Amino acid sequence: MISFEMPKPLVQTRTVVETVAKNMMRPVSREMDENEHEIPWAYIEFMHTATKALGSSSMAPDETAEKKKKEDPEKKKRPPINYQRLMVMVETLSWGDAGIYLCTPGGMLGAAAVSAAGTPEQKKRFLSRFTGKEPVFDAMAMTESQAGSDTSAIRATAVLDENTNEWILNGEKIFVTAGNKALVDSKGFIVVWASLDLEAGRAGIRSFVIEADTPGCKVTKLEEKMGIRASDTASIVMQDCRVPFENILGSPTIEKSTKGYKGAMATFDATRPIVAASALGVARAALEFVQEKLAEAGVEIRYGLPRQKMSNLEREIIDMETQLRQAWLLTIKALWMADNKQSNGAVASMSKVKAGKVASVITQKAVEIMGPVGYSREFLLEKWFRDAKINDIFEGTGQINLLVVARNILGYRGSQLR
């Protein structure tokens, strides 16, 4: 029999993280939203020191936990739950505040890229810094003014200087989540997508790690945004930026196939379900708020009745609950597959599409149901409405992820189905 009960370790993780979300995030949520470029240092410092109690908050696998598991015969028998634990943490922290969650130190998109495409030596070198005394941030820089979802249009370049054995990077990246915290506010790093040969198209694209304080790489702008305002979104310029040869993720050899590009794209198999988890947290916050207000007003949702005997309000609430649960199941499946080393590209994109859409629909419907109260700034509901939309945009738009799903189901290549 299939059990949908959450394993005890995940229940314990959720209980601890709920305390953080309720007591450290919700009370300052409005303040951080209104002061976009202020940094929630109290939350950051707490999360940095609380890693042992909470489990890994990184998008990279917990190497220490894996090592202990190999050494302990009893733990070896237990199914892996690293990514599933991360989902529980991200969903709960995003329920607290999605923007503040994106300020969590300890390894985000950049760490996921290193984990997906890096060598063991690179993983040790770059990911170990998250366990130091000071909070460290990372970011992934892919988007350019002419290259959003179409990564083949990337124009940032990387040229090898054979005299110094260094890569010279030039170009500009925009909409880099946590880019300022990674390069300016901490001794972190960003993972930049650039082309070894513009004429080679996707086959020439590779990822490069640029560390903070690297000459030739600087933040030039901080965006003012509709939602997730506690998180910085930066523009970054690379001008003759030199990085060591060993900072390339993947092979420097350009082949006719897109193997190197696929290695970079593997990052998304882990990160897209995590974005979905964040969307679920925002959606749950909005739905629970509506349910709470309806209960205070004495409105009862009569479960079990035929739909034709329900009020329109009852049907809408039940539909919101159903959609949220469907998205949750898709997301947990994608991350269960990641934990068990199964190929999850199609399911990862499915979860991202579903959760991104569900978050937008639920938060919008919640505002509609609550009327003027939902639209006002008296409560956080209008903020959750604004926060929700980003989950349908970054890590590949909903439309792009639908294409990924269709290609997987139909067996088409990108060139055959666009």
> Mind listing the pLDDT tens digit for each residue in 204-222?
999 999 999 999 999 999 9
State the fold for domain 8-131.
Butyryl-Coa Dehydrogenase, subunit A; domain 1 (1.10.540)
**The pLDDT of residue 201:** 86
Specify whether the CB–CB gap between 384 and 94 falls below 8 A. no
Query: H helices of 153-299, where?
Result: 179-183, 259-265, 267-296
Q: What's the pLDDT score for residue 156?
A: 97
CA distance 135 to 39: 13
- State mean pLDDT over 96-108: 94
Decide which of 367 and 77 is more confident.
367
Least confident of 47-51, 76-80, 117-121: 76-80
Distance of CA 393 to the CA centre of its chain: 11
Across 43-47, 54-58, 185-189, 400-404, least confident range? 54-58
Measured between alpha carbons, how far is residue 364 from residues 282, 309, 316 in Å? 12, 25, 12
Is residue 66 over pLDDT 90?
no
Q: Where in the chain is the domain with CATH 1.10.540.10?
A: 8-131
Give percent of the chain with pLDDT exceeding 90.
Answer: 73
What whole-number distance in Å separates Cα of residue 284 and Cα of residue 281?
5
Task: Give catalytic residues, as residue numbers.
Answer: 395
Q: Residue 396's beta-bridge partner residues?
A: none
Percent of the chain whose pLDDT exceeds 70: 90
Is 410 a residue whose pLDDT tops 60?
A: yes
State the DSSP string of 373-399: HHHSTTSSHHHHHHHHGGGGTSSS-HH
Average the pLDDT over 17-33 and give the result.
97
pLDDT at res. 50: 85
Q: Is 139 helix (H, G, I), strand (E, B) or coil?
A: strand
Q: What is the pLDDT of residues 133-167, one digit of tens each?
A: 899 999 999 999 998 878 888 999 999 999 999 99
> Residue 3 above 90 pLDDT?
no
Q: How far apart are CA 189 and CA 182, in angstroms?
A: 5
Tell me which architecture the domain covering 265-410 has in CATH. Up-down Bundle (1.20)
CATH architecture for the domain at 138-259? Beta Barrel (2.40)
Place 76 in a pLDDT band, splitting at 50, 70 and 90.
low
What is the per-residue pLDDT across 112-125, written as a single tens digit (0 to 9) for each?
A: 899 888 999 999 99
Which residues of the chain are in CATH 1.20.140.10 domains?
Answer: 265-410
Q: Which residue intervals of the chain bear CATH 2.40.110.10?
A: 138-259
Q: How far is CA 222 from CA 16, 143, 231, 233, 417, in A?
A: 33, 15, 10, 6, 36
Q: Count CB neighbours of 65 within 10 A.
A: 16
Q: What is the mean pLDDT of residues 301-312?
A: 94
Rounded to the nearest 10 degrees, what angle do helices 312-339 and 82-96 cross at?
A: 140
- Segment 295-312 shows an average pLDDT of 95
Each residue of 165-204: pLDDT tens digit? 999 999 999 999 999 999 999 999 999 999 999 998 888 9
In the structure, what pLDDT confidence band is assigned to residue 63 with cuts at 50, 70 and 90?
low
Cβ–Cβ under 8 Å, residues 85 and 9: yes
